[in-house]
Structure 1
């Protein structure tokens, strides 16, 4: 049976920050042979809200489980790549915790405070975010930040409590502007940016401080998979 989500034989792999073991990023361009098959699947099926959607927490939009052929193909490809590039010990096995087609649909005025600032996913340095863009550069990309008060750019078990204490103290002192975070402010400094590109996959450690970066929320906050900010978000951990 034909795999509608097969890899492109001409995909290209680039490594950013190659000498930084924590903040190294893998960029894979033209990863799928026919990315439009995944967009068509998204357009033909119903999305549902992410957990926390109604309480102003978590991903600000909708999700849909992708076909298993996609998930299995991607996991088989990225497992040895991540293991090699991030020097994962051979005795650690990889598990997949989540894989979802994702659409940003929450308007800025509906965001909760935690959705208006950069975040980290986990302090486990061996968990990785695997993000496939099914949209182009007009939808922005992903930005990375330094927390000014602590100087931290990624969070580990040793720094988690100190970071969260300061983070919530700042949040309680002054609520962030009700908008999607983008450029630097008094609390966070933007230190990197990965532009979206159709059929581009980026892989980074989930412990880095990051945020979706929207150039035009009016364009990107859109429930139509064919024109909105459609991505596939996968998390794997060793």
Structure 2
């Protein structure tokens, strides 16, 4: 599978800034409807076009558009406008110290990407709520770039309720974040492979409040994310067969 266009979906400006600077991406101000808050940056790596869509700011509250709703819209717009061959969702996340995570570790989603806060205990809807969107085979890229691997689990809250913890454990989740499964849903509709890269800002199974760790470690985690994300872009742009099995898309 030759990759000519890579679309990167990110939620927060602070997460995206180091990547924009590293690749010298330029704003594409008229890419989307001007009423939408999403920001678009474009550039090139080797022979591949790189498109970055950032969630932008909420007009009412003045904060970054985080969570599943903006992520879904960003992904649809990226696919509909730029027709990418590969999607990458990059961002910060919580990790589990009990599962070997440290601040600044960068994980690549493997096996599948799942929701942990869509609890619908009705026959058929329970599995729908979790989603379980398969990832491509990422063993080769994880080895090449020195990435940790694990199931990425998505919810719309920064904290973790006891019910969330139980679902994450049942789903074998090792990374807790707020966008990937929504992006995976759209990627599944269009049958476009999705890579999730997540840099750890906080350890959700320690006594430190999640928001304190997040704010303290955001810059460090964003820099680590930029290093691995840039390396991943070059890997996928220059590799004629970037996955161990090209047919292993979301399903």
Fold shared, TM-score > 0.5 on shorter chain: no
TM-score range for the pair, normalised by the shorter chain length: under 0.3
